Amino acid sequence: MTSETPDAAAAGTWQLGDLTVNRIGFGAMRLTQNGAAFSDDRGPHDRDRAISVLRRAVELGVNHIDTAAFYFSPLRSANELINRALAPYGDDLVITTKVGPGRGPSGDWLNWARPEQLRGQVQENIRQLGRDHLDVVNLRANGPAPVGEHFGALAELRKEGLIRHLGLSNVGPDQIAEARAIAPVVCVQNRYGIGERRADSEDILRTCGELGIAFVPFYAIAAGGREAGADLTAEHDVLLDIARAHDASPAQVRLAWTLRRGPHVLAIPGTGNPAHLEANVAAGALRLTDDEAGRLTALGQDAG
Residues known to be catalytic = 71
Give the CA distances from residue 280 to residues 71, 81, 115, 179, in Å, rounded to whole numbers and listed in that order: 21, 20, 36, 32
Give the CA distances from residue 132 to residues 90, 127, 160, 161, 177, in Å, rounded to whole numbers and listed in that order: 14, 8, 12, 9, 30
**What is the C-alpha to C-alpha distance for residues 168 and 186, in angstroms, rounded to an integer?**
8
**What is the C-alpha to C-alpha distance for residues 271 and 36, in angstroms, rounded to an integer?**
13
Give the SS3 label for residue 96.
strand
Longest Cα–Cα distance in the chain: 53
Ranges of beta strands (E only) in 198-282 are 214-218
What lies within 8 Å, CB to CB, of 242 at 6+ separation is 253, 288, 292, 295, 296
Total count of residues recorded for the chain: 304
